[in-house]
Structure 1
Amino acid sequence: MIANYDILVRLLAAAVLGGTIGFERERLSWSAGLRTHMLVCVGAALFMIVSAFGFSDVLQDAHTVLDPSRVAAQVVSGIGFLGAGSILMRGEVVKGLTTAASLWSVAAVGLACGGGLYFAAISAAIIILVILAGIKPLERMYREKAQRRELRIIASHAQLSPEMFNALLPKGTAKVKQFVLKPLELMETDEIIVTLSRVSPTSPQFQ
């Protein structure tokens, strides 16, 4: 059996690392934020401690064999219900997958803290933070570039407004980012340049 101070250190390490990752989600106002990630990480660490050291008295019996990894395996699968609770579907857009993945990852950090693998836990927490906070701007830039389309429309004068154009768009397919109308003197027509964002690569309307 490990010493009480070692147990406390492992649980505190899990709370700090889980809270560090949870703070990144909290600043974006996700439902699974600071406290949720801390609780998941500390709980996973405690499960690991109980699994590894909680049955030391029973193991003294020559006929008793226990596998500490079984509890860790159950944590990995059991944490899925929390992840599922953080996933939302708004129209045709799924939100919360990254938060669900961060909960799943922070459970692994907690298990590492519970097992005393501090280097692995700290390294994983840093990598998770880099993925959540550092790569997101690059991901946003790529999506904006890949999901942007520009349309040039010639229409009769005052026959097409932003509201009318929005009504013509299939629901949940794209969003109007810019609507520029330039009146043309010839034949009383307007040149309209529409910039769309969030266009799905598979949408045939905007190919």
Structure 2
Amino acid sequence: MDLNAPVLIHWMDWDLLSRLGAAAILGVLLGLDREMRGHAAGMRTHALICFAAAAMTVSIIALYGQLGGLRMDPLRIFEATGSFVGIIGAGLIVFSRGRVHNLTTAAHLWVAAVIGIACGAAQWPLVAIAALVSLVLLTLLRLVEDKDDDRVIGRRSEARDGEA
């Protein structure tokens, strides 16, 4: 059986550490919003998914380079990641009392996986833009949604006061 040459521990470099470290840190930041809102998939889940996607991407790129592109399709990393995150997301989404719960968390896990893949591939402009946009979407749109919820609650209480 032909095996690829082992990568020794002293060969670790700053490039590898930056790819995996950025994924872990961004995963924690992405999960912070979910954690603060008390959702099941919080900082640890997001960090692990983002880190695992980065590690998987680094590994497949390295294997592809070592094997010279023979017998491999590195794009299958996206397929595997999508399937895995889809399974987790499906387990999170709940339909209860006529409302869907955890849909944003499931979508957020997908974003964490994509950012992890981009970190693993060292696509730093994509990492920066995706992390910034997703953090802005989660924080700013949450503020807008909270204000809308307050307005709806205010209308309901006014309607109840009118009925009394």
TM-score range, shorter chain: 0.7 to 0.9
Where in structure 2 are there 5+ consecutive unaligned residues?
1-6
Give the alignment partner of residue 100 of structure 2, picking from 75, 80, 94.
Answer: 94
2:129 alignment partner, SS class: helix
SS in 1 for 2:95: strand
| Deviation for aligned residue 1:136 | 1.4
User: How many Å apart are 1:148 and its aligned residue?
Assistant: 6.6
Displacement of 1:27: 0.5
Q: Percent identity?
A: 32
Matches within 5 A, 1:149-160: none
Look up the match of 1:4. 12
Deviations 1:150-198 (A, max 9, x none): 6xxxxxxxxxxxxxxxxxxxxxxxxx53533xxxxxxxxxxxx149xxx
Could you say which residue in structure 2 is the equivalent of 1:177? 157
2:112 aligned with 1:106, yes or no? yes
- TM-score (ref. length: structure 2): 0.82
Q: 1:20 to 1:148 in 2, by over 3 A?
A: closer
Q: Higher Cα Rg: structure 1 or 2?
A: 1
CA contact (8 A) 2:64 2:74 kept: no
Determine the C-alpha separation between the residues in 2 that align with 1:19 and 1:194. 47
Against the structure 1 CA distance between its residues 131 and 54, is the aligned structure 2 distance closer, same or farther, given a 3 Å change threshold?
Answer: same
**Bigger share in helix:** 2
Match among 70, 73, 77 for residue 71 of structure 1: 77
Aligned-pair CA distance for 1:70: 1.5
Q: Which has the higher contact order (CA 8 A, sep 6+)?
A: 2
Query: Displacement of 1:13 after TM fit?
Result: 0.4
More strand by share: 1
What are structure 1's unaligned runs of at least 5 residues?
A: 151-175, 181-192, 196-207
Report how far residue 16 of structure 1 moved: 0.6
Quote how far apart the aligned CAs of 1:73 are.
2.6
Residues matched between the structures, number: 153
